Amino acid sequence: MTGLVFKRLWIVSKLEKAARMVSFQPGTNILTGENDVGKSTLIKSLYHSIGADAPQMNNTRWKRAKAFYCSEISLNGATYFIVRDGKHFGVFDAQKDMLSKHSGISTEGGIADFICDQLDFNIELEKSADGKLGRAGPAFYFLPFYVDQDAGWTKSWDSFSGLQQFTSFRKNMIEYHLGIRPQSYYDAKKKEMEFVEAKSSLQGERNVLSTALATFQKRSSQIQVSLDPEAFKEELDQLVDAYNLQRARQQDALSKVNDLPPAGPSLMTRVCRFDFGSRR
């Protein structure tokens, strides 16, 4: 947590065309004031601006204001401006040049890709919906450091919205923040889940191929090949006739060769003359 410091926060209301800027000093800051002047909303807005949604930020009164946020933070010694409007985020450097833009929080391309990477918080937990791994967003990193008056006072480690998307998130986060299970454990857990999913996929392919093979073997054993000569009588007769014709031609050619006189000089001369004459 020492790597992140809030420096300033802007809250802008699209409906009221009004804005409020609050600056924070280095060290400890204390907010004082009467009830219902916005102390809790200000603290909620700090976390909300960087992707950690606190309860009651979507109540009817606040939603009517249509607020968006800009927080100036120091993160690992570097200054950033993060703008949030609904589910959309923009990250800017100290010179206010855009570094990246994000949609959503823990989804692919969400603000967690920036915040959690900077905090070296790359934890993936099992989703309650399907048991697959999903990235834990900034709220899970800030759990030990914030107690929300609307939720955290009545139930421990419940100060942010959306925590129930993962099974056993309390146990996992307590063990992580206490150092019982460090980042390396979750890295290994991710690899294990990837291997299990790959094995399951290969097993599914194997089952499909086994079923196809069994079906083929069953069908091939039932195929009866007909070798009845009567079914091919006409084709066989045609082949026999063709064979007999070729056999007769062969015998006739052999007979003619046998009737030829022995070869000699005079015969060769006559043959050559005949061939010469035929060319003319």
- How many domains does the chain contain in total? 2
Q: Which residues are within 8 A (CB) of 11 and not within 5 positions of it... i.e. 6 or more apart?
A: 19, 20, 45, 67, 68, 69
Same domain? For 159 and 238 the reply is: no
Does any domain span residue 103?
A: yes
212 located within any domain? no
Within 10 angstroms of residue 138's Cβ, the number of other Cβ atoms is 25
Q: Are residues 166 and 59 in the same domain?
A: yes
User: What does 164-190 look like in DSSP terms, one character per residue?
Assistant: GGBTTHHHHHHHHHTTSS-HHHHHHHH
Prediction pTM value? 0.68
Residue 12 included in any domain: yes
Per-residue confidence in pLDDT tens, the chain, 280 aa: 457 899 999 999 988 888 999 999 988 899 898 887 888 889 999 999 999 998 877 666 777 778 899 999 999 889 999 999 999 999 999 999 999 999 999 989 999 999 999 998 999 999 999 888 899 999 999 999 998 888 777 788 889 999 999 999 999 999 999 999 988 888 898 888 888 888 988 998 999 999 988 888 888 777 766 667 777 788 888 888 898 888 888 888 888 877 777 655 554 444 444 444 444 4
**Residue 189's pLDDT is what?**
86
The range of the structural domain enclosing residue 175 comes to: 4-31+38-181
Instruction: Give the separation between CA 76 and CA 209, rounded to whole angstroms.
Output: 53
Residue 89: Cβ within 10 Å count: 25
Q: Answer yes or no: is 214 within a domain.
A: no
For 98-118, letters b (16+ CB in 10 Å) and e give eeeebebbbeeebbbbbbbeb
Same domain, 149 and 252: no
Q: What is the three-class DSSP state of 101?
A: strand
Let me know whether 67 and 175 are in one domain: yes
8, 128: one domain: yes
Q: Is residue 271 included in any domain, yes or no?
A: no
